[in-house]
Structure 1
């Protein structure tokens, strides 16, 4: 995962205003007005309730009438507006996914996993990037006054645990993801789904030790700034590396900083690492983007992988299987995480108001050529 940093809506309402018809106006012509359920009903000679029942997929409509209504909906390009639905029913079928960025490969794949799982539950995912920083993350906690939605999936990065704990209760049903929240910090109305980063990095390091590697480096620590959390993803993963080395009686890891958790960051940091520490024979990377850069840098330097240096990444992004050599990596099950999160959130949206729940999502080590 990058460090510290849709689909049909459910059950549209029967008294909504709607999107314009599919007819495309010519240049300079006025925009076609919205089609209403009333107009569909009048066109077919049926009641508005009948049209509503078809739109909402209710069973009490004859098959012939249902087919006529569905055809009229297609002909007129009838679409419910989410805003009107939310005003009338209190629900929109929308869930906001607030993540630090879509620039990293992990988060783009995670967003797709959420979209897939939401579609199975007849919900829609609305993406919200908090890349603008701490104030943008605070807007998530203040209730997204400018964004529609029934609940929030939130991966905080810069905002402190004290701020989250100080809420007392979230404005909207919320499920937190990420790896650096303490259970005590969870406010009422929220749940938390996480992957055990420390244990996963421990397992990756133990795999390198099992291959006979003894001089291990960890690439993933960013330069320290006031905005970076003490319990960041990178620190948790470094803790797992250190614990595995201590248990094996191996030397402390080499821990240079990296400029970014990106391929470019891995390329530069990996080459500098081998120039300054040529004895290193195993590298655990904070994510797969870093590891891809490291692999390229080692290949450019004529260093054999895994003969001289074994490399392990984290995230199991799609490209991991297609690097040279293919990348051994930790696979946090993104689909399982998304499914668990949405199940918890939909329960909250539906009225569950019990204590905060904390669930660990599964992960596994995928062994490929870079550390086979």
Structure 2
């Protein structure tokens, strides 16, 4: 594929980082070909790391991480079922390595996530007989989990996704086991426990489809409840799992404005843009969603056509134009993965597909979408 035709900044997506730097005299624009440096006056640029990257075996991806990103988050290794698979049995092996990797790269470390209805072991919600545990017991288990994890990384993890995906798309709170057993105040308790464990850490609420008006209104109520009770909340994380052709741009901007008006930061989290057809008219990021794999849902196994490369770049450009307009309120933009080989969109909502939703391809080379984003930094 000839990507040069898409590039106006020093052949960004057509050659290696080093070669590009050597082949242009426009050093102001190239800025060592780093997303982080290009946007350093606006917001942090982050990425999520998987176990191979954290362990150090994926050295090619780690070179991209070191060059391109100044914020790091765990894709999975800090989720409750990984950190505490059995009651009282904590496993910090990967999380420790991730936190050290962030420190070695002077990256802003984000912890993901403390309280979530998914990827939390069953023991958290049940007693020895398999029955739902009591409110008091679950609160104590939550407190122990949060304070053990947060205190371990006190001063190292700079911000935490305290509660993840507790609001329904149509408004109202998700009737998760957290809500069913504890009640709606489980959210307040989670933020309170996290703040007690590290008073200096930033605390976030994180969710998908935050452009939906009903969901946005519910999150506003959530934030105001915390604020009125004097409970710390620093930011709302707007997950950004989008797809080509999905025109949410106006409502995305409305949500940024609305959340910023609450006096908190806005963060764009889990950013990726699928190029594959979604098997439902309702686009979601609900992890329990699953569909059978059919050829019509996996059309680009041998590579992405040039016209879709262009379309993907245009979509990212529309997003970053919005982000740039609101850079005084947005503190971080985090891509959900380093490259297309890593992305969860290869196995969700259909396992075994070949997707291309990120800025770097399977060989960790920058794509035309990378150039589209870089152009908007200047």
Output the TM-score relative to the length of structure 1.
0.28
Structure showing greater Rg: 1
The higher-RCO structure (CA 8 Å, 6+ apart) is: 2
Output the TM-score relative to the length of structure 2.
0.28
